[in-house]
Amino acid sequence: MTLTTLNFINGEWVSAQNGSFIRSINPSDFNEVVGTIADSTIEDLDDAVQAAKRAGVSWRKLSAVDRGNFLHKAADILENNVDEIAEIATREMGKVLHEMKGEVKRGVAILRYFAQEGMRQTGEVLPSAQSNNFLYTKRVPIGVVGIITPWNFPVAIPLWKIAPALIYGNTVVFKSASETGITAAKLVEVFNQAGIPGGVINFINGKGSVIGQGMVEHNDIHAISFTGSNEVGKQIAIGMAARGAKYQLEMGGKNPVIVLEDADLDLAANLTVLGAMKQTGQRCTATSKAFVQRSVYDRFKERVIEKVQSLKVGPGLFNGIDMGPLASKNQLDSVVDYIDKGLTEGATLLAGGRIPMGSECKNGFFIEPTVFGNVTNNMVIAKEEIFGPVLCLIKVESLDEAIELANDNMYGLSASLFTKDLAKAFIFADQIEAGLVQINGETGGAEPQAPFGGMKASSSHSREQGQAAKEFFTTIKTITITP
C-alpha cells in the first residue's frame, strides 16, 4: 500500500503549492515505494509560520494544565496505535519492528511526562531589597518554534521536542527528515485527533536546503530545535545567531566503552555489541569503539565476535531479525567506505564487513555487523562518526590511558565503563568528557525525566528532556510589584 502525505497547516491537510512530491523508499526493498510526501516551497513554509504565529496568541493564554490535557489525549491515541505507527516507521527507515514498537511506547511516555509539566512550577518568588516590593519570576513561551528532526528516531525525537514546546505555550512548525515523512505525518495526526487547536502544530515536508534553511532565515521563527549532522547544525547556528534567535543543536557522537580487567566480560560484551549494532548502529549514542584492558582483551574479543556472528540480518518486519538495513543507499555507501578505510589503515577485520548475499537482503541496503581489531586511536574509523554497525577494539594498559584516549575526540555525547570497582567508576564519571555517562550499561538510552545532550561538538550545550527542557523552550520574565 502506497501512502500519500500532505502538509498540515492551520489544522488542515493541504498539498504543496507546486503540487510536487518526494518518494519514500523502503530500505529493506528499494523496489517498494512506501509513499509520497509533499516537496514544499518557501511559500508553503510561510503559510505554516503565519498559522503558528496567529495560533500562539490564544494558545499561550490557555493554562498549562489545559495544554497538558491535550498531551494526555495524544498519549492515549498514540498508545492505541503503536502497532500501525511502528510498522509504517519500519517500512520507511528499516528499524527492526520490536525496536520500533519500543520507540513508539517511549513516545507515549514522553507525552505523558510533559503533560504533567503543566502542573509543575514555572517561576519563583524572590526576596527584594525593598520590603514592600513583591518580586517574582515566571517562565513564558518563546513564540514560534521550528522543529527539525532526523530519520533515525522518527517518533521519539520529534515528540521530545514538540511536547515541551507545546506544554510551555509555544506553537510549532515541524519539519521531519524526508526519509520518514509519512511516520511524522502519523504523529501530527495524533495531535489532530487529540483536538489541538488549528495552527498550534504545523507540519511541512520538503528538502532541507529549502524548508530547513527557510526556517533559519524566517524572522517569525523565534527558535529552532535541531537534531542531525554537525555540518547542518553549524549552518543553523550561524544563521540563527546572525539574527539573534535561539537555537538548540544535538549532533554527532563517537561513543566509547571502557572495559577493565575486573569487569563482567559477558555483560560487557553483550552490552557493547547491543550498543554498537542496535538500530544498525544508526544512533548518535551508538557504541563506536571499545578500549579494553590488555589482560582481558582476547577474552573480550572472543565474546564480541561470537555475539556479533549470532546476529541475524534482514528486513525489519521479518520475524527473528536482530538487525535491519541501513536507512538509504547513501548510508550504505558511507559505511562501506569507512570499512574500506579501516582495512587500508591496517585494522584487522574480525567479523562482518560484507554485504549479505541472502535472498531476503538482495534488494535492500544491508551490511553485516562489523568488528575491527588492532585499531589505533588516530585511525579514521576511530575518530569519525560512522553511523553504522561498525565497532573498533583498542587495547589499553589502564583506566587512565583509556580515559585519555576516549577524551581525545571532537565529540562528547555518551560513554560507558565496565568495572566492579566503585572508586574507578567515580573517577570515570568525573573525568570522562561526555554528557551521558553509564557504569555497566550500554552507551545508548535516555529516560524522559532525565536531561539528554552532549559536550564538545556533540551539542550546542543545551539539554533536552526532563526539567532541563524548559531552559530552551521558555524565557524568564522578572516582575516587581510595588503596592
List the one residue out of 263, 255, 339, 340 whose CA is nearest residue 303.
263
Give Cβ neighbours of residue 412 (< 8 Å, ≥ 6 apart).
Answer: 253, 433, 434, 435, 454, 455, 456, 457, 458, 459
Please give the Cα distance from 137 to 224 (Å, whole number). Answer: 24
Amino acid, res. 203: F
- Give the other-Cβ count within 10 Å of 52's Cβ: 27
Q: At what angle do helices 97-116 and 82-93 cross, to 10 degrees?
A: 120
Please give the Cα distance from 248 to 465 (Å, whole number). Answer: 12
227, 285, 170, 75: CA torsion to nearest 10: 120
Torsion sign, CA atoms 312, 313, 315, 317? positive
Amino acid, res. 361: C
Cell of 268: 560487557
Catalytic (active site) residue 217: no
Catalytic (active site) residue 284: yes
How far out from the chain centre does Cα 420 lie? 31
Angle at 233 between CA 99 and CA 381, to 5 degrees: 65
Cell of 388: 553504522
Please give the Cα distance from 37 to 24 (Å, whole number). Answer: 7
Q: At what angle do helices 82-93 and 181-193 cross, to 10 degrees?
A: 160
Catalytic residue, candidates 250, 385, 442, 464? 250
Torsion sign, CA atoms 191, 194, 196, 199? positive
Bridging pattern class, strands 171-175 and 144-148: parallel
Please give the Cα distance from 372 to 115 (Å, whole number). Answer: 45
Catalytic residue, candidates 92, 99, 103, 284? 284
Cell of 75: 498519549
Cell of 391: 565497532
Q: Decide: 208 and 176 in contact? Cβ < 8 Å.
A: no
Catalytic residues: 250, 284
